[in-house]
């Protein structure tokens, strides 16, 4: 199995390694402007998920276990992992099972994206079912609808929407089958059960106006961890690193007590 491609952005002033994992249908290029703010503080390793961007043609399957294993082989062992949205699920699985990471950062990401009887802050499972149906009929329009949902609520929604739309196909069209698998992960995965045994500190960064990942879901998840802190970015939506990069950077750098 071919190793994943990883982009590394060196820092002249920092030696701490930071791994960035993007969200559904995107690629690491979405972090470009934020990386400029991160490199004074971190050596950044940006990994496109299997089936996306630079790793669009990899034979690594888009599953939590396969992704966590493949990524852990191409990034430094003792690193901070930051996963946005779907990338957060993969980072959390790696933290729980495979990787001796320094710290976990969940960026607008939840251990369980779907609402359940004991989890009131998830989204309706019908939303993911509807998106999955849309992928089979018109995947371009479905991507656009999802992007609009990501931007909705932010006080910079128009700017955020434009950036997401510009970036989504910048590294080529993702495989619709991979997109469908990513939706399945968002709909089916529930990683809450092992949060209490998470061996490293964790930081949970939410957007107050996020319509995909309710900040209350992230606060509830963090409360299950032994060492965790929550930072809620006011006026931000699902992609606060685009619109509130300084606030997100400060939250990422804050020490977990």
Catalytic residue set: 85, 210, 238
Work out the burial of residue 33: count CB atoms within 10 Å of its CB; fewer than 13 is exposed, 13-18 middle, 19 or more buried: exposed
Q: Are strands 80-84 and 17-21 parallel, antiparallel or unpaired?
A: parallel
CA 87 – CA 64 distance, rounded (Å): 10
Query: How far from 129 is each of 134, 142, 185, 213, 223, CA to CA, in Å?
Result: 9, 12, 12, 17, 29
Burial of 212 (0-12, 13-18, 19+ CB in 10 A): buried
CA dist 146 and 128 (Å) reads 10
Query: CB-hemisphere CA count at 13 Å for 132?
Result: 15
**Side-chain half-sphere of 116: how many Cα atoms within 13 Å?**
12
Residue of 84, 73, 83, 77 whose CA lies nearest to 101: 77
Query: Which residue do the tokens 């669009």 mark?
Result: 56
44: how many CB neighbours lie within 10 A of its CB?
26
Do 213 and 113 meet the contact criterion of CB atoms below 8 Å apart? yes
């Amino acid at each position: 199995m071919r190793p994943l491609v990883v982009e590394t952005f060196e820092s002249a002033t920092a030696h701490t390694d930071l791994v960035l994992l993007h969200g559904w249908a995107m690629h690491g290029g979405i972090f470009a402007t934020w990386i400029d703010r991160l490199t004074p503080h971190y050596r950044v390793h940006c990994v496109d998920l299997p089936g996306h961007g630079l790793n669009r043609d990899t034979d690594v399957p888009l599953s939590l276990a396969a992704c966590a294993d493949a990524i852990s082989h191409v990034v430094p062992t003792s690193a901070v992992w930051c996963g946005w949205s779907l990338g957060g699920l993969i980072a959390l699985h790696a933290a729980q099972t495979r990787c001796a990471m320094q710290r976990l950062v969940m960026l607008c990401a939840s251990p369980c994206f779907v609402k359940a009887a004991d989890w009131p802050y998830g989204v309706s499972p019908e939303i993911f079912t509807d998106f999955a149906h849309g992928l089979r009929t018109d995947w371009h329009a479905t991507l656009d609808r999802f992007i609009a949902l990501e931007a909705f609520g932010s006080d910079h929604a128009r700017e955020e929407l434009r950036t997401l739309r510009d970036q989504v196909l910048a590294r080529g069209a993702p495989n619709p089958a991979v997109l469908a698998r990513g939706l399945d992960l968002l709909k089916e995965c529930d990683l809450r059960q092992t949060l209490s045994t998470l061996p490293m500190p964790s930081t949970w960064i939410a957007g107050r106006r996020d319509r995909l990942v309710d900040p209350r879901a992230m606060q509830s998840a963090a409360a299950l961890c032994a060492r965790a802190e929550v930072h809620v970015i006011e006026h931000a939506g699902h992609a606060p690193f685009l619109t509130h990069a300084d606030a997100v950077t400060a939250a990422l750098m804050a020490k977990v007590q």
